[in-house]
């Protein structure tokens, strides 16, 4: 019976055939231990010379790392194995023998591994990270579908920028200026005025070199926009969503989290409601902690966010940032015109901001004023102003950065481990 490693539990004490690669091996006298992977999981194959004969044993003993194989064997239940199963091998067929595989079991630096990202993905650790990433994506669709959101796909090439053009990759769309999208938000607002509650999920770009382990130039973002939803309700939806994906990862990625050495006790605390602290109080808190390098009106750096996050055991909202720090489209606080109705959600353990969101301006006059104050072209944003001209309503939205969320829930040190192919680093990845 041909099957996959993930499904061997259906064939205990039966003979199966698996197409796999050799992740690693070791031998002890007349027994060879093959660490096999097939994309669905990992399993150990045990080859006993006395049971398979000289030819099969030598094939198993001599096969090289990352060679491709067909392996036939009897599935055995084994509580000591991470997956709960082991394979007693009866036959080994080498399909292609790999030579001089560059990523050996020894320690390698991050830069070396990133230079070989196309191969590093095969490792048990990276397999686990990608499975966690996949679970977050699956749970994302499930959450928004269950809550009556409609998936809409905004363009990747855009003619306008939600947050200015200084961090955009510029290109030409025939004879017009165009940019790689830094956010689908403005288009999603238009979709929300048609469909009520919408979300997008796609690549976004920042034309700024990565400076820390938490930054990427290219990443994926989930961006919901919601008509008739004001600031407080938006925060509730955000914490429900993050709690949902954390719970899904805990329930469905136990083996992967164990492989990564993740402290799952910390993830069990990710349950709504989340604590909140205003920007004003956050500045005061930082001053009390000895951070005299920041004053009211400054944006938080990584050390500041980490200091705030360490005060809590779950994600924390920092709310009501100064108007001067935020994009033109954010709704002012009705009680204070120097701050806006926005919030950043900061993950625990030093992973930084995973969500940025706000209530959007719904007044045509105020939006026109903000566009002028930010020296943006009114002609470029005429269509965006139409959303306020024809049936405007209070509405809110947010964006969750997938890669930082994957890094946090996985517990990996570097956010680049959480994206399959980070093409844009300090150079183009082929």
Per-residue pLDDT of 288-304, as tens digits, reads 999 999 999 999 999 99
- The whole-number pLDDT of residue 167 equals 74
Helices (H) and strands (E) in the chain — how many of each? 14, 18
What is the Cα–Cα distance from 83 to 42, expressed in whole angstroms?
Answer: 8
- The whole-number pLDDT of residue 162 equals 60
Helix, coil or strand: residue 117: helix
CB 278 within 8 A of CB 286: no
What is the Cα–Cα distance from 277 to 214, expressed in whole angstroms?
Answer: 22
In the sheet where 276-278 sits, what is the strand order? 150-151, 197-205, 218-227, 395-401, 352-360, 342-347, 316-319, 276-278
Where helices occur in 272-429 by DSSP H, the ranges are 279-288, 302-309, 364-373, 382-389, 402-410
- The whole-number pLDDT of residue 429 equals 38
List of residues 6+ apart from 111 with CB closer than 8 A:
none
Query: Rg of the Cα trace of the chain?
Result: 26
- The whole-number pLDDT of residue 100 equals 93
- The whole-number pLDDT of residue 380 equals 86
What is the Cα–Cα distance from 201 to 64, expressed in whole angstroms?
Answer: 40
CB 398 within 8 A of CB 188: no
E-strand stretches of 234-385: 276-278, 316-319, 332-333, 336-340, 342-347, 352-360
- The whole-number pLDDT of residue 218 equals 80
Site of tokens 């809409």:
152
Q: Could you say which residues of the chain have pLDDT below 50?
A: 424-430
pTM across the whole model: 0.92
- The whole-number pLDDT of residue 275 equals 98
């Amino acid at each position: 019976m041909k099957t996959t490693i993930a499904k061997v539990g259906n064939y205990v004490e039966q003979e199966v055939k698996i197409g796999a690669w050799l992740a690693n091996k070791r031998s002890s006298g007349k027994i060879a231990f093959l660490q096999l992977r097939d994309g669905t999981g990992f399993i150990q194959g045990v080859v006993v010379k006395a049971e398979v004969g000289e030819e099969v044993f030598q094939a198993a003993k001599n096969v090289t790392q990352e060679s491709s194989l067909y392996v036939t064997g009897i599935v055995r239940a084994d509580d000591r194995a991470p997956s709960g199963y082991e394979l007693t091998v009866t036959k080994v067929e080498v399909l292609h023998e790999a030579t001089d595989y560059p990523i050996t079991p020894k320690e390698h630096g991050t830069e070396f591994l990133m230079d070989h990202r196309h191969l590093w993905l095969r490792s048990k650790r990276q397999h686990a990270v990608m499975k966690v990433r996949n679970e977050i994506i699956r749970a994302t669709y499930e959450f928004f579908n269950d809550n009556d959101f409609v998936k809409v796909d905004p363009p990747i090439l855009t003619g306008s920028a939600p947050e200015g053009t200084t961090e955009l990759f510029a290109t030409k769309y025939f004879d017009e200026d165009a940019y790689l999208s830094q956010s689908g938000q403005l288009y999603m607002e238009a979709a929300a005025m048609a469909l009520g509650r919408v979300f997008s999920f796609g690549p976004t770009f920042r034309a700024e070199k990565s400076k820390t382990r938490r930054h990427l130039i290219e990443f994926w973002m989930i961006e919901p926009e919601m008509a008739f939803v004001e600031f407080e309700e938006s925060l509730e939806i955000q914490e429900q969503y993050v709690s949902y994906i954390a719970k899904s990862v805990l329930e469905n990625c136990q083996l992967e989290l164990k492989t990564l050495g993740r402290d799952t006790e910390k993830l069990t605390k990710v349950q709504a409601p989340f604590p909140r602290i205003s920007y004003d109080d956050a500045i005061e808190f930082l001053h009390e902690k000895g951070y005299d390098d920041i004053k009211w009106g400054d944006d938080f750096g990584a050390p500041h966010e980490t200091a705030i996050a360490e005060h809590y055991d779950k994600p924390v909202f920092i709310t009501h940032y100064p108007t001067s720090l935020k994009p033109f489209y954010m709704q002012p606080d009705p009680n204070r015109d120097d701050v806006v109705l926005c919030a950043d959600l900061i993950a625990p353990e030093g992973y930084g901001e995973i969500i940025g969101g706000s209530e959007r301006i719904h007044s045509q006059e105020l939006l026109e004023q903000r566009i002028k104050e930010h020296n943006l072209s009114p002609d470029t944003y005429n269509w965006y102003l139409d959303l306020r001209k024809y049936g405007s309503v209070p509405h809110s939205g947010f964006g969750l950065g997938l890669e930082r969320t994957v890094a946090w829930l996985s517990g990996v040190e570097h956010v680049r481990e959480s994206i399959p192919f980070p093409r844009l680093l300090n150079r183009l990845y082929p």
